[in-house]
Structure formats: structure tokens, C-alpha cells
Amino acid sequence: MIVDGESLSIEDVVRVARGNEKVEISNEIKERVKKAREEIEKILQQEKPIYGVNTGFGELANVRISNEKIEELQENLIRSHACGVGEALSKEVVRAIILLRLNSLAKGYSGVRYELLEKLAEALNKNFYPFVPSQGSVGASGDLAPLAHVALALVGEGEAFYNGKLMAAKEVLELLHMEPIKLKAKEGIALINGSQYMAAVLCLAYFDAYNLLKNAQIAGVMSLEALKGTDQAFREEIALARPYKGQIKAARNLWRLCKGSSIIASHKNCPKVQDAYSLRCMPQVFGAMYEALDFIKNIVTTEINSATDNPLIFDGEVISGGNFHGEPVAIALDLLNIILTKLSSFSERRIARLLDEKLSELPPFLAKDPGLNSSLMILQYIAASLTSENKSMAYPASVDSIPTSANQEDYQSMGSIAARKCMQILKNAEKVVAIEYIVASQALDFFDLQPSPASKAAYNFIRKYVKAVEKDKAMYKEIEEVAKHVHEGNILKEVEKIIGKIE
């Protein structure tokens, strides 16, 4: 995967973060990176004050640092800022962080040596996994603490993982035959000024959320069939009368997913006028999620191809600004958290209908022998718990701000907090959709008629891992197993073999 500072995609990030794809630095950027570095060296010789290069940081920006202390300044910056707390970030998030920092520096506005970019690429290609705590960033001067832990490991201090074991970073570098990097002027601040932690999470979560939205539509159609709903609410005429692109896309998907259902065809002339909102309004609700995801994609694609440190170099001029501020990413993360919470809540309502005999006209809790067996009763409790937890976390982190650095940095994005919540909300939502898959599959067992070919493909896949419940049994492993296949897109792949790509 070629890094050029301009064309990184969300899919590229996923391939490098999860698939360990190798990276190369484009030859085209070498000259612009070196040119910016030369400008920094030239200004240092003139002894002009440059923020973060020969001055202190934050409120200490007015403290001048002598040229002979500049390298020590950069090392001290990394050490002082590497004070994050909490659980370690996953390897895929840390790899995404390193890739995004590399791509940002590759734009050639940061004034670092080309060797620093090579070191970041080497870290990815040799699977160097620094220990990065998940808490401590306020998301405005960049994700300072998390990025400082990455930099600390690269200079041979701090800690890193090797074969799952946490070790001194210096030892891991030796095992990987990597030399610690010696930071020069501007390079410490260039490594930590940026939104790469929150942007890394947003990249991966966007990819997973899009996959989950497709799964939710498949599970939703399975529920629709089991509840003897109609596909007429998915007709193109309705969507075109309110022509949101997302709604049109969702309606098209749902119509194709329903195609060929003997169950739906069997009650075409039933007296029921219309279905509940959780069935009838799937194009509108899922469509709104598509619209929001398009907005998020635009934000994250722009962010991961941006120069986000401070100061930046333009044609020999060093200019201080605020590109490190995480506000765009923070708002996008908060929006994604809302989408995922609504998706899980929407799914939970269909699960509840399937298990309520008064609404489903199916046996209570889909039990083969109700009373003696509770069957799937408690799966709705689990879905309700996960959904409620998501609701409690969906309040936007970005509406808050606490000043730092003696009020010099007086307005924060809090995007990293939104990122931390996003990782949990996503996992919860995947489990809720997994539960809907399990419950809908059990409900379809009560029909002699066949569901749509798409639903049948999903049903057959699920039945490989979750057998029909005849007698009560513990199902926690089945929920986790189906959630894993939701996350990996395996159920989606089976359905797409039948109907083609879901948009």
C-alpha cells in the first residue's frame, strides 16, 4: 500500500490495521518532505522563535530554548506527555494510528526528516505494537497522550507488545532488529500533534458500522417474514416520493432481500392494513443511517489525508494554527454513536415483537414446549440491556470542554472520549443484531412455507452455529459466535452470493 499523504482510503486503513498489509512511501513525496525540513534547519540557524521547535509548549510557548537544548526538548516533550491511563488500545487501532500519522507527515508540511517517515513505515512492516493507554486525550492539541506513547516506544522507552507479552520497548525493538529513533528539532511535536487516535477509531468503526447496517437489513427482513409482514412498504414509488438517497438505497436493498418469499406471498390478501413502525419504516430509519454514514465518510476521508500538527511550513514560512483540533472528528464520532445506538434500539424492538405471542401470533418466546421451557425469553433481556447501555453512552462527548494548559488551550473537542465509547457501542450493537438473527431464525422454524432465498441463506449459515432450541440451554456462546460472524461479514457474504451486492 503506497503512502503519499493524499489518497489514503478507509479500506486502506482497514487492510493495514487488520490485514497487516505492507506499506511503502511514495517516491514522489521525498523531495517535498526534505524541502520542508531544510526550511526548519534554515530558520533555526537564524535563531527565530518557532513554537514547539525552540520554544516551550502550551502556556510555556513564550519560553525560549537554546539550539543546543532542542533535541532534549523534543525528548522531554514525549516523556512528559506519555502519561495516559487505562487499558491498552488494540493492535489494530495502534497500527491505524501509526499509518495515519505517517500519512499526515507525508504531506510535507511538518518539517520532519524523511527518516522519521521511514521509521513509521518500518514499525508497521515489522509489526511493532507500542503500548498505548486508551484514556487521557482531550482531543484538541491532538491526541497528545496516546500519540506520545507511540513516540516513546519508537525512541526505545516505554513499553510494547511482543507475541502478546508486554515488554520494555527497547527489548522489542532489538527483537525486531529496529533501531530506536533519535528525535531532532520539531519531530517530537510533529509525532504527537494530531487527531490520529480518534481518526483511527472512526475509520475502523465506520467500516464496521456500514457492514453492520447491511446485516441489520438482512435480520430485519427475516423478522418481517416471521411476523407475517408485507414488503409493499419497500416499493420504489414510496422512496422516490421522499427522495433521500439513503432511503432509496435501503428500500432497494429490502425489496431485493424479500424477493421470492413464499411466506410474504401467502398473506398478500390478509386483512391487516399495515405493519408496526419497526417493520414498515425500515427504509426510512435505515436510510437515515446511510445518509449520516455518508457525512461521516466525508469527514474521515478528509481527516486521514490532512496535515494536523502545528506549526506547519508553507514556502519557507512557519505558521502556527489549529489543524490539530479534533472537532470535526469528535462530532462525526458522536454522530456514529447515535446511529449505532438507534440501530441496536431498532433491532431490539423487532426481537421483542418476535418473542411476544400477542404481537407475533407465534408460540410465547418461540418455545416448543412453553412453560416448562423459557426458550429465547432472556435473549430479549440481553438485547434490552445492551441497547440501554448504548443509550447511556450515546450522549455526545463533543458538547463538553474543560480548559487545559493554564487556559491557553481553553476549548477541547473531547473526541477521544467519543472514540472510546464508540468501540463499546459498536460491540453492543453487533451483539443485538446477532440476537435478532438467532430469534428470527427460531421464528422461521414455525413456518412450513419458505422465506426468501436471501433469508434462507442467512438462516442456513446461522444454523451451522446455533441449532433450533428444542429445550432450554445456555446460549451465551451462540450469541458471541453469531456476533463474530456479523463483525466479520460472513453472514452478509452468504446472502450476497444469492442476491448480489447489498448497497
Give the whole-angstrom CA distance, residue 181 versus residue 414: 30
Summarised one tens digit per residue, pLDDT across range 210-256 is 999 999 999 999 999 999 999 999 999 999 999 999 999 999 999 99
**In the chain, where are the structural domains located?**
2-194, 201-308+318-401+411-499
* Greatest alpha-carbon span in the chain: 86
What's residue 58's pLDDT?
66
What's residue 61's pLDDT?
64
Question: Helix (H, G, I), strand (E, B), or coil: what is residue 307?
Answer: coil
| Residue pointed to by grid coordinates 458538547 | 399
What amino acid occupies position 168? A
Report cis status (omega within 30 of 0) of the bond before 311: yes
What's residue 57's pLDDT?
67
DSSP-H helix ranges across 304-414: 327-355, 357-360, 377-393
Residues designated catalytic: 51
CATH (residue range 2-194): 1.10.275.10
Please choose, from the candidates 242, 427, 435, the residue with its C-alpha nearest in 3D space to the C-alpha of residue 346: 435
∠147-86-479 over CA atoms, to 5°?
A: 110
Give the whole-angstrom CA distance, residue 79 versus residue 96: 22
- Regions in the chain scoring below 70 on pLDDT: 56-59, 61
Superfamily of domain 201-308+318-401+411-499: Fumarase/aspartase (Central domain) (1.20.200.10)
What's residue 67's pLDDT?
77
Summarised one tens digit per residue, pLDDT across range 350-408 is 999 999 999 999 999 999 899 999 999 999 999 999 999 999 999 999 999 999 888 88
Question: Helix (H, G, I), strand (E, B), or coil: what is residue 86?
Answer: strand
What's residue 59's pLDDT?
66
DSSP-H helix ranges across 398-444: 415-444
Question: Helix (H, G, I), strand (E, B), or coil: what is residue 409?
Answer: strand
- Per DSSP, the residues of 150-187 read HHHHHTT-SEEEETTEEEEHHHHHHHTT-PPP---TTH
